[in-house]
Chains A and B, each alone.
Chain A
Amino acid sequence: MGLSDEIVGAAQEELRKYPSSVGEEFQRAVRMMEETVPPAQLEEWVKEGLSLTRLTVRSWEAASEFFRVSPTVVRGRSYTTFQEWTRWGNVLCQDSPTMAVAYFRASPGVVDEIDAEHIPTWASVGRGLYKGTWKSTALAGRFFEASPGLLRSLSFQELLRFTKIIDMLSHRSYDLAVECIGLARDTFPRLSGDRDAFISLLSALGEGNWRQVKGAFEVGSRALQKVERVQGPRFLRLAQKVAQADTADLPAFLTEASDALGELDRHTHATVLGMAEVLVDLAPGTVVEFIKSCPIVLRRINDQQLALWFREGIRLLRETEDGGMAYFKVESAHSEEMLDLISSGVELDRVKDILRLYCLALAGIEMDIAVTQELVGKDIGWVSKAHATTEGTTVFLPPVVDQYPTKEENFTWYKVVSTHQVAHLEFGSFDFRFDRPATLFEDLRLSLAPVERKPKGPGAAAGNGSQATKDQQAWITDVSHFFDLFEDRKLILDIFTVVEDARLDYLVKADYPGIRDSYRKVQQGALKARPSVEGLPAREALMEFLVQWSLGAEEGLMVPQEYAEEVRALARIASTLLAPRARVEDTAEAALRIYEVLSRIPNREADDWEEVEAGGEDAEGAEPPKEMNESGAGASPPEAQPRDEQAYRSPQDVDYRGDFKPELTQLLAQLRMLQEQANLPGAAPPQGLGKEQLEELLARSAELEIPTADGQIPMGAGLFANNLLREAGVSNPQSPDYPSHLFVHSDEEHGALEVTEPQTYLYDEWDFRAGDYKPRWCMVREKALPEGEVTFYQTTLQNYAGLISRVQRQFELVLPEAFRKIKRLPDGEEFDLDAVIEAIVDRRVGSSPSDKLYWRRNKVIRDVAVVFLLDMSASTAEAIEDHRRRAEDWDAPEDPGEYMVWLRARRAQGLRRSYKRIIDVEKESTVLLIRALETIGDTYGIYGFSGYGRENVEFFVIKDILEPFGERIMRRIDKIAPLHATRMGPAIRHATRKLARLDAKTKILFLISDGRPQDRGYSREGVEKEYAVHDTKMAMAEARRMDITPFCLTVDRSGHDYLKTMMSDMGYEVLDDITQLPERLPYLYRKLTV
């Protein structure tokens, strides 16, 4: 076969007009074509090629590419297909040679992936992207170029659908479309089974949301990896529905929802998505919130219970969308209640107050309840987060209990645990006195000498022998003193712990019959979790036996046969302790005796085991083995250590008993006591409060599990010592007295806050759209205003001398009104003569006389308590003149960074001022008011408030309610200054809380403001100012419910519009002329209280 040289030569001749590469490609191709294509068709091919070359000026490039790929394309295909392919190349080249180049170049990759009949479709679709412009050429080119890659992960149909999306995008932006093709090539291979759904999702975005397509590509694959694999398409269909609701931001949805799902157990994805599918038909906007809440919610309830919670949300959603939204965000009180109702677990937070009072009642001393993490966080030696414990003043409990199927049982667990912890206090575990006699045992400990021991490390106190020990004496607690009697401190601590816990359990069950059953149940639960005694090395086995015996195990306990006698001795000693009279000193004596037994048992594997009865042993002959009296417990040296002896390991903790650390607790108590003494005025600084001694002491304690690397003084000891000292209040951290403006910003979007510092308080906020409170939403930080100069107070008194005396006179007039003679009473001091005469007259004329014949001096005791709340927002920095002109508005930037800049600029302006500001008038009025209030003797408090964001509501004390008036208060007034924004709700709630605690007949909350409430995030979705107004209104209403009369005075002349809503039926006044404030304020107050 072969084409006639003539044709080839002619073609070559013609191609010589073009760059040489074309000819070369042609020659190479011809040779290859000859092998597969019959001459007639080959000739046709040459013709086609030549016509392609001639087509336009630049079409030689396409032709060159055509020649190059032809041999590959033609192989294994029918010639008609090849012809069709060639024809399309020609068509494309007529449009744009560049496009044709891309077409030809991509062809070898594409024809392998698609059926022959699809080739024209592919070409025509690509051509469809070409709109005759330069940019569209590039796009179509890019499409052909990417096709082989795309087709490796997409089916042809999918490619077509994808191309439609690209086409749609190209109407908007060619650049974006080009970019998306690139992204798609990277993304699709990673989507595996989800491709189809993903493409549908993209198509659904539609014209309206074309911008999001790129974002969807960017986050898509990462998002889908977090979703359970088989649920991927479902997730995408959901996203599609969400996207169709036009407000949704698809990339954000994909990211947030998948992140949330990623936090969940994969098997719950189906459930959650199922619910989301229901939700999406009702309110697409809530879907993302719902999914985002799931991780939080599912921490408290299981996935079956989730359905209940969800159903309630749907019900609410049908009522109001906002309510449902808040519900699914878990930002409504109702939502939390519902969760609480459904979950069987009990959160410590919810029952903390109940338990606190319960513990307080049992212990009789001030107790606090805290989460275990808090103690661990203090780093003073307690490390277990899971176990309950107490350090003498606080009972630490795990944050959530969900061990049992019902709430009651879980709560009972808390109760049992707290009872046990409080028992430490009630029955005096920490009250160990070394020299107080025991009641049940002979006091052997008094006759023992402490063991000489080497310090753990060669470091700190090794050298300076006797001096160091002397210093320590002051430090040694009674418990340490006792432990020092023993060689093996760890062993004695373990024994002491078990025995003491057994004593407490016994006493609790004896003293509190009501809790006995639950107590047993918890004990049994703990028993189940114990390791088997059998198989442990001998000493540990006996220790474990003791633990299980103390938990009430009665039978089936295996012990090593060779030590059966010792076990019986242990049981005897321990049972002796179980008597109502047992004191902690008895525990010590019992521990001492048990130590004597255990320390003699080598800790090695035992061969034969036998069962013993643990319970029911009669408590006789609890005397220790004779030899002990002579040798002393500590002196018994371990006999020649057999080779197979293992290091002794403490038994694992019993969860309800927790971390018992008598030595540390006593130490802490001692430190606190020393500190209190030191804090007394005139006391000398306490002796021996040295960190070194403390470190040394801690290093010896077996209660600390400090990693002791290489026999060094443990790294942690110094740290612990420091922390202990701090905990005991020894080092006083400098308290910053000027309110710091370092704001803490929590995520505005999500979640309730938690109190972390003293003097901070949490309040709910009212969401009027949802019709429910956002729980623990705002944090109020209370601080005293710093003190300035007295001059301001004095100058004001001088400037307003006239007004002051006038106001004072008016107030003095109020007082005598208190003694009024009230007439015509049925009973009283004396007859009212007029009434008596009338009565007699009545009787004479035969009509029935009135029996109201007495008068009485009614002493109305004026009993008024009032709180003034001053608005210290930035807007009060305005000049009075300015204020008259403009309708005030809060134009501060939302971003915290920008805000600080804005604030500084604003402050700087203020410094240069020579005019009078609103705040100055407020200050002056305060001075006047104080004068008036002091005259009349009412109880009053003056506070300022400001803040920025819900987590920084600042509440400044100018005069606390019960604080007597004095120079400090005059000084504070000087420092009243414009600060930040006005979040009124929490400030009002905090003031209400202060007032509610007072016992007064009339309570008034007087709010002085200069504008509507506003703050960062004090609105719904950032726009609705009504939100702030309604929250403030609700705060006022709450105050009124507590019998407090709220009143609002504003100097904002445009105030009528919102005050009408805010104060509705409560009192308010809008002051047109702010200069009237000093005069008006005392007047209003007087009116309000009479």
Chain B
Amino acid sequence: MTGQTTKLYKEYLIEEFGVTEEPFYVPIGDEIELFEAAYAQKLPVLFKGPTGCGKTRFIEYMAWRLRHSSARVAGDGDGLLDNRLALITIACHEDLTSSDLVGRYLLEHDSTRWIDGPLTRAVKVGAICYLDEIVEARKDTTVLIHPLTDHRRILPIEKQGILLQAHEDFLLVISYNPGYQSALKDLKQSTRQRFVSIEFDYPPRELEAKIVEHESGVDADAAMALAKVGEKVRNLRDHGLQEGASTRLLIYAGKLIAQGISPRRACQVAVTWAVTDDHQVHRSIEEVVSSIFPA
């Protein structure tokens, strides 16, 4: 035995992580053009849409795409390695404080050391900062991003007593799901009116089938059937379901099917039980599934 240990995982600095492989993304409308235009003008963007419909995948795809096109423009093959257009994703939660975004002092030996928060890093290196599910964050935290989103593009760091002017490539993108948040968690007007909004919804049946087929590796028929399940279950939104079955869930079901699980069972665990705990609704969805998939 050598004393060497092999790392089984990869470690990145936050701002070093970029999307290197082209993510699979099927556009539903003109969202790619819209986003590119917004990026060119550095307009902050808001994604609205139900869970699992492809918001995160889209931002990954755009990060990759923009990074490539800018690299091509620069004509510099190695440009891919710098930190420009990294994608920094922050999942928001209700305890997210401003220090979590901006940074904080840590105790180190007998002194303190400042470390930047992810937002600060993105501002410094010119990354795309993606705040996922922004409404989950506390309202006082949300206010923090306001100066970054208008013409000023600055981030004040009170505790250090500095103002950061954002890197020219920096872009703020936020997302939220208007569906299930209660009135209490609505996005404030002063916040929402700082963004260009792109709405997402589940793709139409044919497109969704294509996506499911690609992502899960099931055959076209099964993918089509899964897409049909998705469509039918979504009809139940607001009638016992808060949200319809997401494309993500359909892909999960597809993956299980690809692994040899029977389609009915796969839909049961990946779709039916995932979307709700209501027993009656379970039964109804199962009936739909059993109509679509033969035993």
Contact = CB atoms under 8 A, between A and B. Distances in A.
Partners in one complex: yes
A828 interface: yes
Contacts of A363: 235
B110 A840 contact: yes
B107 A354 contact: no
A1021 interface: no
Interface in B88-102: 97-99
Nearest to B182: A999
Interface in A330-372: 353-358, 360-366
A514 B159 contact: no
A861 B140 CA distance: 13
A861 B291 CA distance: 46
A543 interface: no
Contacts of A999: 182, 184
Nearest to A366: B239
A397 B226 CA distance: 29
Interface residues of A, number: 35
Interface stretch (B73-81, B170-178, B279-287): B279-287
Interface string B20-62: 0000000000000000000000000000000000000000000
A513 B287 contact: no
Contacts of B264: 514
Interface string B183-210: 0100000000000000000000000000
B48 to A, nearest CB: 20
Given A357-B239, A853-B107, A512 B292 contact: yes
B233 interface: yes
Contacts of A365: 235
B294 interface: yes
B232 interface: yes
A467 B57 CA distance: 63
Contacts of B98: 829
Contacts of B289: 514
B147 interface: no
A769 interface: no
A361 B225 CA distance: 14
Interface string A826-847: 0011110000100110000000
Contacts of B105: 830-831
A863 B140 CA distance: 18
A354 B291 contact: no
Contacts of B179: none
A513 B293 contact: yes
A361 B233 CA distance: 6
Contacts of A364: 231-232, 235
B107 A514 contact: no
B99 A357 contact: no
Interface string B101-140: 0001101001010000000000000000000000000101
B97 A829 contact: yes
B284 A361 contact: yes
A999 B181 CA distance: 10
A457 B190 CA distance: 69
B161 to A, nearest CB: 14
Contact of A358 (B104, B107, B110, B284): B284
A363 B225 CA distance: 16
Interface string A234-260: 000000000000000000000000000
Category for how many chain B residues contact A = 35 or more
Q: In this complex, which of A363, A365, A514, A856 has the most chain B Cβ atoms within 10 angstroms of its Cβ?
A: A514
B118 to A, nearest CB: 15
Contacts of B140: 859
A360 B228 CA distance: 14
Contacts, number: 85
A513 B235 contact: no
A861 B184 contact: yes
A514 B110 contact: no
Given A514-B291, A514-B295, A829-B99, A362 B107 contact: no
A513 B294 contact: yes
B222 to A, nearest CB: 11
Nearest to A839: B107
Given A829-B98, A829-B99, A517 B294 contact: yes
B97 to A, nearest CB: 5
Interface string A393-437: 000000000000000000000010001000000000000000000
A361 B232 contact: yes
A364 B82 CA distance: 49
B236 interface: yes
A362 B236 CA distance: 9
Contacts of B281: 357
A354 B293 contact: no
A456 interface: no
Interface in A425-462: none
A360 B285 CA distance: 10
A226 interface: no
B283 A354 contact: yes
Given A357-B240, A836-B107, A861-B184, A830 B290 contact: no
B288 interface: yes
A361 B281 CA distance: 11
Contact of B287 (A366, A415, A511, A830): A415
A361 B240 CA distance: 11
Given A836-B107, A840-B110, A861-B184, A357 B236 contact: yes
B184 A361 contact: no
A364 B228 CA distance: 12
A356 B285 CA distance: 11
A849 to B, nearest CB: 9
B294 A514 contact: yes
Nearest to B139: A859
B236 A360 contact: yes
Interface in A834-892: 836, 839-840, 853, 856, 859, 861, 863
A977 interface: no
A830 B159 contact: yes
A355 B236 CA distance: 12
Contacts of A824: none
A119 interface: no
A358 B182 contact: no
Given A362-B235, A831-B105, A863-B184, A856 B290 contact: no
Contacts of A511: 228, 292
Given A357-B239, A830-B99, A514 B232 contact: no
A277 to B, nearest CB: 41
Contacts of B110: 840
A366 B240 CA distance: 12
Contacts of A415: 287, 291
Given A415-B291, A840-B110, A360 B239 contact: yes
B292 A361 contact: no
A861 B184 CA distance: 10
Contacts of B236: 357, 360-361
B218 to A, nearest CB: 15
A516 interface: yes
Contacts of A357: 236, 239-240, 280-281, 284-285
A747 to B, nearest CB: 30
A797 interface: no
Nearest to B180: A999
A928 to B, nearest CB: 27
Contacts of A514: 264, 289-295
Nearest to B233: A361
A360 B288 CA distance: 10
5 contacts: A363-B235, A419-B291, A514-B290, A829-B97, A999-B184
Given A357-B281, A415-B287, A513-B292, 7 more contacts: A415-B291, A512-B292, A514-B264, A514-B289, A831-B112, A836-B107, A853-B107
Interface of B: 97-99, 104-105, 107, 110, 112, 138, 140, 159, 182, 184, 225, 228, 231-233, 235-236, 239-240, 264, 280-281, 283-285, 287-295
Interface of A: 353-358, 360-366, 415, 419, 511-517, 828-831, 836, 839-840, 853, 856, 859, 861, 863, 999
